[in-house]
Structure 1
Amino acid sequence: MSAIPPHLSYTRDHEWLLDGVVGITAFAASSLGDIVYVQLPDVGAAVTAGVPCGEIESTKSVSDLVAPADGVVVEVNPLVAAEPGLLNEDPYERGWLFRISVSGTPDLLDASAYAALVG
């Protein structure tokens, strides 16, 4: 597993959040296996922390994509929709999923707490 970036906030559902940008962790991508399809929320959709807002499908399973914070989707990453494998290759940079205008942030984990969770 790759290093856990110290500048991100994390959920217990293995999503990360930074300045409204949402993605999944390398731990989640590795656990899922080869990701073949991603369903992202629509621009303008309201999302609620802890509530599924999309799906990630791999050769192993289908998993819910859970919003890490309350807000409204302002942008989605078209590269991930076209190339879902980016989540396996680069989950913290090119594989970001969507951006929200954050209106409320739940109890997120810092990098060390997330490392303890997955450790």
Structure 2
Amino acid sequence: MPMSDAAMERKVDQLDNDVQAIYEMIASIDGTLRRHHNRLDEISAQLMGVNERLDGHDQRFDAVDKRFDAVDKRFDAVDKRFDAVDARFDAVDARFDAVDARFDAVDARFDAVDAKLDRVLEQLARD
């Protein structure tokens, strides 16, 4: 059945309205995409700023790390010196222990002589 002119006009108007609605939707989507693109550009610029700041912090941390390495080396050298001094003190301590043992032996001999003198004095007092 052929369409009448009025029906065909209505159909063309409806299709024209549909096409117009599609163009409006496309324009709306295009606007949204442009806003998203602009916002992503802003976020990208902010991230680049953050990355630059982080690079600065990273460089500062590297410098601090190098300083700690230098301090650590100095502490290692001091630790070695203390180990050497400690070894020397151990040797001196051993020598003092030997002297102490000798003094103990001399003290024991003096005690023996003292005991003998006490007996001699007792003997002389009786006589």
Instruction: Pick the TM interval, shorter chain.
Output: under 0.3
Larger radius of gyration: 2
TM-score normalized by the length of structure 2: 0.09
TM-score normalized by the length of structure 1: 0.10
* Larger proportion of strand: 1
* Larger proportion of helix: 2
